[in-house]
Amino acid sequence: MADVFDDLDAEYRRLDAVLASLAPEQWSAESGAAGWTVADVVLHLAQAEEGIGVLAPAAGEAAGAGADTGVGIAAGASGGADGVFLSAADTMDGVAADMVAAERGTPPAEILARWREAAFATPGRLRAQPPGTRLPWVRTSLSPRTLATTRLAEHWAHGLDITVPLGIDHPDTARIRHIAWLGHRTLPYAFSLDGLPAVPVFCDLTGPDGDRWTFGDPAAATRITGSASEFCRVGARRLAPERTGLVAEGPQAADALRLLRNYAA
Protein backbone atom coordinates (compact mmCIF):
# COMPACT_ATOMS: atom_id res chain seq x y z
CA MET A 1 0.00 0.00 0.00
CA ALA A 2 1.11 3.56 -0.63
CA ASP A 3 2.39 5.56 2.30
CA VAL A 4 -0.64 6.49 4.39
CA PHE A 5 0.87 9.80 5.52
CA ASP A 6 1.35 10.91 1.91
CA ASP A 7 -2.15 9.76 1.04
CA LEU A 8 -3.61 11.57 4.04
CA ASP A 9 -1.96 14.79 2.88
CA ALA A 10 -3.31 14.23 -0.64
CA GLU A 11 -6.84 13.69 0.72
CA TYR A 12 -6.60 16.93 2.70
CA ARG A 13 -5.40 18.82 -0.38
CA ARG A 14 -8.24 17.48 -2.49
CA LEU A 15 -10.84 18.48 0.10
CA ASP A 16 -9.18 21.89 0.42
CA ALA A 17 -9.68 22.47 -3.31
CA VAL A 18 -13.38 21.71 -2.87
CA LEU A 19 -13.74 23.99 0.13
CA ALA A 20 -11.88 26.82 -1.58
CA SER A 21 -14.38 26.66 -4.45
CA LEU A 22 -17.52 26.99 -2.32
CA ALA A 23 -19.72 30.04 -2.64
CA PRO A 24 -20.81 31.71 0.63
CA GLU A 25 -24.32 30.27 0.43
CA GLN A 26 -22.97 26.74 0.00
CA TRP A 27 -21.39 26.85 3.45
CA SER A 28 -24.86 27.20 4.97
CA ALA A 29 -26.37 24.42 2.83
CA GLU A 30 -27.49 21.19 4.47
CA SER A 31 -24.82 18.51 4.34
CA GLY A 32 -25.18 14.76 4.16
CA ALA A 33 -24.57 14.62 7.93
CA ALA A 34 -28.04 14.88 9.48
CA GLY A 35 -28.62 18.21 11.19
CA TRP A 36 -25.32 19.71 10.10
CA THR A 37 -24.58 22.34 7.48
CA VAL A 38 -21.45 22.24 5.35
CA ALA A 39 -19.90 24.74 7.79
CA ASP A 40 -20.72 22.44 10.70
CA VAL A 41 -19.00 19.52 8.97
CA VAL A 42 -15.81 21.48 8.36
CA LEU A 43 -15.90 22.86 11.90
CA HIS A 44 -16.08 19.31 13.21
CA LEU A 45 -13.10 18.30 11.09
CA ALA A 46 -11.14 21.33 12.30
CA GLN A 47 -11.87 20.52 15.95
CA ALA A 48 -10.75 16.92 15.53
CA GLU A 49 -7.56 17.90 13.71
CA GLU A 50 -6.75 20.38 16.47
CA GLY A 51 -6.85 17.38 18.79
CA ILE A 52 -4.03 15.78 16.82
CA GLY A 53 -1.95 18.87 17.48
CA VAL A 54 -2.44 18.40 21.22
CA LEU A 55 -1.77 14.66 21.24
CA ALA A 56 1.20 14.38 18.90
CA PRO A 57 3.74 16.53 20.81
CA ALA A 58 3.09 14.40 23.90
CA ALA A 59 3.68 11.15 22.04
CA GLY A 60 6.98 10.44 23.77
CA GLU A 61 5.17 10.16 27.08
CA ALA A 62 2.43 8.10 25.45
CA ALA A 63 4.79 5.52 23.93
CA GLY A 64 3.78 2.05 25.01
CA ALA A 65 0.53 3.24 26.58
CA GLY A 66 -2.15 0.61 26.95
CA ALA A 67 -5.49 0.54 25.23
CA ASP A 68 -7.36 1.96 28.22
CA THR A 69 -5.99 5.51 28.11
CA GLY A 70 -9.32 6.93 26.98
CA VAL A 71 -8.58 10.43 25.71
CA GLY A 72 -11.22 12.37 23.82
CA ILE A 73 -11.50 13.05 20.14
CA ALA A 74 -10.19 16.58 20.12
CA ALA A 75 -8.80 19.46 22.05
CA GLY A 76 -10.98 22.15 23.50
CA ALA A 77 -13.04 24.26 21.13
CA SER A 78 -10.22 26.73 20.61
CA GLY A 79 -7.55 24.06 20.19
CA GLY A 80 -6.22 24.55 23.71
CA ALA A 81 -4.79 21.90 25.97
CA ASP A 82 -8.02 20.87 27.68
CA GLY A 83 -9.06 17.65 26.01
CA VAL A 84 -12.51 16.20 25.60
CA PHE A 85 -12.66 12.94 27.50
CA LEU A 86 -15.26 10.28 26.77
CA SER A 87 -16.71 8.60 29.82
CA ALA A 88 -18.64 5.37 29.61
CA ALA A 89 -21.84 7.40 29.28
CA ASP A 90 -20.55 9.54 26.40
CA THR A 91 -20.86 8.74 22.73
CA MET A 92 -18.47 10.01 20.11
CA ASP A 93 -21.34 11.40 18.06
CA GLY A 94 -22.76 13.17 21.09
CA VAL A 95 -19.47 14.78 22.05
CA ALA A 96 -18.83 15.86 18.47
CA ALA A 97 -22.31 17.35 18.20
CA ASP A 98 -21.83 19.30 21.44
CA MET A 99 -18.48 20.65 20.30
CA VAL A 100 -19.94 21.82 16.98
CA ALA A 101 -22.96 23.37 18.70
CA ALA A 102 -20.66 25.33 21.03
CA GLU A 103 -19.00 27.06 18.07
CA ARG A 104 -21.82 27.11 15.54
CA GLY A 105 -21.93 30.47 13.79
CA THR A 106 -18.16 30.78 13.40
CA PRO A 107 -17.55 32.51 10.05
CA PRO A 108 -16.69 30.06 7.24
CA ALA A 109 -13.41 31.84 6.47
CA GLU A 110 -12.31 31.33 10.07
CA ILE A 111 -13.39 27.68 10.04
CA LEU A 112 -11.49 27.02 6.83
CA ALA A 113 -8.37 28.73 8.15
CA ARG A 114 -8.49 26.68 11.36
CA TRP A 115 -8.97 23.43 9.48
CA ARG A 116 -6.12 24.19 7.08
CA GLU A 117 -3.70 25.07 9.86
CA ALA A 118 -4.45 21.93 11.84
CA ALA A 119 -4.97 19.45 9.01
CA PHE A 120 -1.94 20.31 6.91
CA ALA A 121 0.26 19.77 9.97
CA THR A 122 -1.22 16.37 10.84
CA PRO A 123 0.64 14.09 8.39
CA GLY A 124 4.02 15.44 9.43
CA ARG A 125 3.19 15.27 13.13
CA LEU A 126 2.10 11.66 12.88
CA ARG A 127 4.98 10.62 10.63
CA ALA A 128 7.49 12.07 13.12
CA GLN A 129 6.35 9.98 16.10
CA PRO A 130 8.98 7.62 17.57
CA PRO A 131 8.72 3.87 16.91
CA GLY A 132 6.31 2.19 19.30
CA THR A 133 4.28 5.31 19.96
CA ARG A 134 0.63 4.78 20.87
CA LEU A 135 -1.58 7.85 20.69
CA PRO A 136 -4.70 7.88 22.90
CA TRP A 137 -7.84 8.42 20.83
CA VAL A 138 -11.42 8.31 22.12
CA ARG A 139 -11.44 5.10 24.21
CA THR A 140 -8.38 3.34 22.84
CA SER A 141 -4.84 4.01 21.68
CA LEU A 142 -3.64 3.83 18.10
CA SER A 143 -0.36 3.74 16.25
CA PRO A 144 0.37 6.90 14.25
CA ARG A 145 -0.25 5.00 11.00
CA THR A 146 -3.64 3.72 12.15
CA LEU A 147 -4.62 7.15 13.43
CA ALA A 148 -3.63 8.62 10.04
CA THR A 149 -5.85 6.01 8.40
CA THR A 150 -8.82 6.96 10.58
CA ARG A 151 -8.30 10.63 9.71
CA LEU A 152 -8.23 9.76 6.00
CA ALA A 153 -11.43 7.71 6.43
CA GLU A 154 -13.23 10.51 8.25
CA HIS A 155 -12.23 13.17 5.74
CA TRP A 156 -13.26 10.93 2.86
CA ALA A 157 -16.67 10.28 4.43
CA HIS A 158 -17.29 13.91 5.32
CA GLY A 159 -16.06 14.89 1.88
CA LEU A 160 -19.01 12.89 0.57
CA ASP A 161 -21.29 14.70 3.04
CA ILE A 162 -20.18 17.99 1.50
CA THR A 163 -19.93 17.17 -2.19
CA VAL A 164 -22.89 14.86 -2.81
CA PRO A 165 -25.63 17.27 -1.64
CA LEU A 166 -23.94 20.13 -3.51
CA GLY A 167 -23.62 18.10 -6.71
CA ILE A 168 -19.83 18.44 -6.78
CA ASP A 169 -17.90 15.72 -8.60
CA HIS A 170 -15.72 13.91 -6.07
CA PRO A 171 -14.76 10.46 -7.43
CA ASP A 172 -13.05 7.86 -5.30
CA THR A 173 -9.32 7.34 -5.66
CA ALA A 174 -6.97 4.46 -4.86
CA ARG A 175 -6.54 6.08 -1.44
CA ILE A 176 -9.68 4.33 -0.25
CA ARG A 177 -7.61 1.14 -0.05
CA HIS A 178 -6.48 2.38 3.36
CA ILE A 179 -10.13 2.80 4.36
CA ALA A 180 -11.04 -0.70 3.16
CA TRP A 181 -8.10 -2.07 5.14
CA LEU A 182 -9.33 -0.24 8.25
CA GLY A 183 -12.84 -1.61 7.83
CA HIS A 184 -11.54 -5.16 7.58
CA ARG A 185 -9.06 -4.68 10.44
CA THR A 186 -11.80 -3.35 12.72
CA LEU A 187 -14.23 -6.23 12.14
CA PRO A 188 -13.19 -8.26 15.23
CA TYR A 189 -13.80 -5.20 17.42
CA ALA A 190 -17.14 -4.58 15.70
CA PHE A 191 -18.18 -8.18 16.38
CA SER A 192 -17.21 -7.86 20.03
CA LEU A 193 -19.27 -4.70 20.49
CA ASP A 194 -22.30 -6.63 19.23
CA GLY A 195 -21.62 -9.54 21.57
CA LEU A 196 -20.70 -11.89 18.74
CA PRO A 197 -17.61 -14.07 18.44
CA ALA A 198 -15.25 -12.81 15.78
CA VAL A 199 -14.71 -15.06 12.78
CA PRO A 200 -12.09 -14.75 10.05
CA VAL A 201 -13.38 -12.71 7.12
CA PHE A 202 -11.81 -12.59 3.68
CA CYS A 203 -12.53 -9.50 1.58
CA ASP A 204 -11.96 -9.54 -2.18
CA LEU A 205 -12.62 -6.03 -3.42
CA THR A 206 -12.30 -4.11 -6.66
CA GLY A 207 -10.78 -0.64 -6.39
CA PRO A 208 -11.88 2.45 -8.32
CA ASP A 209 -9.24 1.82 -10.98
CA GLY A 210 -10.12 -1.87 -11.37
CA ASP A 211 -7.35 -3.15 -9.11
CA ARG A 212 -8.04 -6.20 -6.96
CA TRP A 213 -7.58 -5.66 -3.22
CA THR A 214 -7.69 -8.59 -0.81
CA PHE A 215 -7.70 -8.57 2.98
CA GLY A 216 -7.61 -11.55 5.32
CA ASP A 217 -7.14 -15.27 4.83
CA PRO A 218 -8.39 -16.56 1.45
CA ALA A 219 -9.29 -19.83 3.19
CA ALA A 220 -11.79 -18.10 5.50
CA ALA A 221 -15.33 -19.45 5.23
CA THR A 222 -16.83 -15.97 5.56
CA ARG A 223 -16.22 -13.84 2.47
CA ILE A 224 -17.23 -10.43 1.15
CA THR A 225 -16.66 -9.61 -2.51
CA GLY A 226 -17.48 -6.63 -4.67
CA SER A 227 -16.80 -2.92 -5.03
CA ALA A 228 -14.34 -1.31 -2.63
CA SER A 229 -16.22 1.97 -2.99
CA GLU A 230 -19.43 0.33 -1.81
CA PHE A 231 -17.58 -1.54 0.94
CA CYS A 232 -16.14 1.72 2.27
CA ARG A 233 -19.50 3.50 2.08
CA VAL A 234 -21.14 0.71 4.06
CA GLY A 235 -18.37 1.00 6.65
CA ALA A 236 -18.88 4.76 6.84
CA ARG A 237 -22.63 4.24 7.31
CA ARG A 238 -23.28 6.19 4.11
CA LEU A 239 -24.85 3.24 2.26
CA ALA A 240 -26.98 0.32 3.42
CA PRO A 241 -25.56 -3.13 2.56
CA GLU A 242 -28.77 -4.16 0.82
CA ARG A 243 -28.41 -1.27 -1.61
CA THR A 244 -25.03 -2.49 -2.84
CA GLY A 245 -23.81 -5.23 -5.12
CA LEU A 246 -21.59 -6.64 -2.38
CA VAL A 247 -21.82 -10.42 -2.01
CA ALA A 248 -21.53 -11.84 1.51
CA GLU A 249 -21.09 -15.59 1.85
CA GLY A 250 -20.49 -17.92 4.77
CA PRO A 251 -21.16 -17.90 8.52
CA GLN A 252 -21.73 -14.40 9.92
CA ALA A 253 -21.14 -12.80 6.53
CA ALA A 254 -24.35 -10.80 6.84
CA ASP A 255 -23.31 -9.74 10.36
CA ALA A 256 -19.91 -8.64 9.03
CA LEU A 257 -21.56 -6.31 6.52
CA ARG A 258 -24.04 -5.06 9.11
CA LEU A 259 -21.32 -4.28 11.63
CA LEU A 260 -18.66 -3.02 9.20
CA ARG A 261 -17.14 0.28 10.36
CA ASN A 262 -14.35 2.48 9.01
CA TYR A 263 -13.38 3.85 12.39
CA ALA A 264 -11.42 2.50 15.28
CA ALA A 265 -13.47 3.53 18.29
Lowest mean pLDDT among 40-49, 77-86, 169-178: 77-86
Checking phi first, is residue 43 left (phi over 0); if not, alpha (psi -120 to 50) or beta? Answer: alpha
- pLDDT for 137: 84
pTM reported for the whole predicted model: 0.87
Lowest mean pLDDT among 7-21, 81-95, 235-249: 81-95
Residue 145 identity (one-letter amino acid): R
Name residue 136's beta-bridge partners.
141
Per-residue pLDDT tens digits for 174-219: 999 999 999 999 999 999 999 999 999 999 999 999 999 999 999 9
Report d(CA 44, CA 100) in Å as an integer. 6
Average pLDDT over residues 27-42: 97
- pLDDT for 200: 96
Per-residue pLDDT tens digits for 68-103: 222 333 322 222 222 333 444 457 778 889 999 999
Average pLDDT over residues 20-33: 97
Residue 20 confidence (pLDDT) above 60 = yes
- pLDDT for 264: 59
Which helix (H) or strand (E) covers residue 42, if one does? helix 38-55
User: What residue ranges define each of the domains in the chain, with the CATH number in brackets?
Assistant: 4-151 (1.20.120), 176-259 (3.30.1050.10)
Among 169, 162, 159, which residue's Cα sits nearest to residue 232?
Answer: 159
Report d(CA 182, CA 6) in Å as an integer. 17
Residue 42 confidence (pLDDT) above 90 = yes
Residue 126 confidence (pLDDT) above 70 = yes
**Cα-to-chain-centroid distance, residue 242:** 22
Lowest mean pLDDT among 50-54, 137-141, 235-239: 137-141
Average pLDDT over residues 49-67: 60
- pLDDT for 140: 81
Residue 227 confidence (pLDDT) above 60 = yes
Task: Name the pLDDT band for 57 (thresholds 50, 70, 90).
Answer: low
Report d(CA 146, CA 218) in Å as an integer. 23
167 neighbors 97 (Cβ within 8 angstroms) = no
Which positions ≥6 away from 174 have C-beta within 8 Å? 2, 207, 208, 209, 211
Residue 60 identity (one-letter amino acid): G
